[in-house]
């Protein structure tokens, strides 16, 4: 084990900060936990740390960085050394650079995306508490996911990216998509925990963001999410369906800046001895949209 505990946060670039805050609070149902001039910090109701989403006012949409929480400072230092040995550009982020965060290490991975690892962040708890808690708090709004679940990114050299996450950071590859001849990797699903995925890549332009997945309770909540999106006139890409890959239940839609979001549930548990599942490229449409068995054009093209 590498010492990585889980996915910690995404910092998303948005064009209109206040419009985005309204969307992520009223439609997604996140809670604002802090503000700075050009950033707003949010978390889901079932998350204990100060934030899992940071909205950054910017001229272009997309992802500034994705971060994973590490067990302690000793594991963080070990990973820092391994990342440098792999050849990634690495820098330190000072404590207090962002609200409620301690020091972090920041590095660029082979697909051009920026990642961070950290161990120190303020814990603010949940409204249900940790002593004799009720199953959910009163006053939930919107889709009201339990947590930020995963992100999907695009890049060209998925072999090297996969090798970095498995050999350096200790992730396991739960599923992969290959060309029919098996020669080229075109999709890679990676987990640092026992989830189906914490991070995934599909072949495409380097440095692009595909979507952020938010975890909801069940299939009914995915259907309810579709109702909430229609009530709020949110652009929906695909109505509720199932993934073949991960077996998750899903709906895709877009925030006001064009960043794709997903309400996601179900999926399997991946233990340490879980074998990697392989999909061939000719079945990719079934893997992604199991019921319709065909891709929508925007799925590969709407990237930020």
Is 262 among the residues known to form the active site?
A: yes
* CB 246, CB 175: distance < 8 Å: yes
Q: At a CB cut-off of 8 Å and minimum separation 6, what does 255 contact? A: 12, 14, 20, 23, 24, 261
Is 243 among the residues known to form the active site?
A: yes
Rounded Cα gap, residues 107 and 112, in angstroms: 10
Is 51 among the residues known to form the active site?
A: no
Is 65 among the residues known to form the active site?
A: no
Q: Which of 252, 271, 291, 294 is catalytic?
A: 252
Rounded Cα gap, residues 300 and 91, in angstroms: 32
Is 146 among the residues known to form the active site?
A: no
Q: Which of 50, 51, 113, 243 is catalytic?
A: 243
Q: Which of 50, 51, 197, 210 is catalytic?
A: 197
Residue with the two structure tokens 């925990």:
193
Q: Which of 50, 51, 113, 150 is catalytic?
A: 150
Q: Which of 24, 101, 262, 264 is catalytic?
A: 262
Q: Please name every residue paired with 191 in a beta bridge, in sequence order, or none if there are none.
A: 172
Q: Which of 24, 211, 215, 264 is catalytic?
A: 211
Long-range contacts of 35-42 (CB under 8 A, 24+ apart): 36/98, 36/99, 39/98, 39/99, 41/98, 41/99, 41/100
3-state secondary structure of 290: coil
Task: Count other C-beta atoms under 10 Å from residue 245's C-beta.
Answer: 23
Ordered DSSP codes for 244-288:
SSTTEEEEEEE-TTS-EEEEEEE-----TTPPPEEEEGGGHHHHH
User: Catalytic residues, which ones?
Assistant: 150, 197, 211, 243, 252, 262
């Amino acid at each position: 084990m590498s010492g990585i505990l889980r996915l910690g946060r995404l910092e998303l670039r948005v064009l209109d900060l206040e419009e985005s805050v309204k969307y992520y609070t009223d439609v997604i149902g996140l809670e604002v936990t802090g503000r700075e001039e050009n950033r707003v910090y949010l978390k889901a109701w079932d998350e204990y740390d100060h934030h899992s989403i940071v909205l950054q006012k910017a001229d272009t949409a997309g992802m500034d960085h994705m971060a994973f929480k590490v067990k302690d400072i000793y594991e963080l230092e070990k990973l820092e050394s391994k990342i440098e040995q792999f050849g990634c550009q690495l820098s330190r982020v000072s404590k207090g650079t962002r609200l409620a965060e301690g020091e972090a290490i920041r590095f660029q991975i082979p697909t051009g995306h920026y990642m961070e690892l950290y161990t120190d962040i303020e814990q603010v708890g949940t409204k249900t508490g940790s002593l004799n808690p009720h199953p959910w708090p009163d006053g939930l709004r919107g889709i009201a996911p339990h947590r930020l679940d995963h992100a999907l990114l695009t890049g060209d050299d998925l072999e090297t990216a996969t090798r970095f996450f498995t050999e350096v950071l200790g992730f396991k590859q739960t599923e992969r998509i290959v060309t029919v001849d098996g020669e080229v990797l075109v999709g890679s699903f990676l987990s640092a925990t026992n989830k189906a995925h914490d991070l995934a890549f599909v072949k495409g332009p380097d440095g692009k963001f595909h979507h952020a997945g938010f975890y909801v309770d069940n299939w009914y909540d995915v259907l309810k999410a579709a109702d909430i999106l229609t009530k709020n006139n949110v652009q929906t890409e695909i109505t509720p369906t199932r993934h073949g890959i991960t077996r998750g239940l899903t709906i895709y839609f877009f925030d006001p800046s064009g960043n794709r979001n997903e309400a996601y549930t179900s999926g399997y548990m991946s233990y340490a001895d879980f074998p990697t599942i392989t999909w061939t490229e000719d079945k990719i449409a079934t893997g992604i949209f199991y019921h319709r068995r065909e891709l929508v054009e925007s799925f590969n093209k709407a990237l930020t």
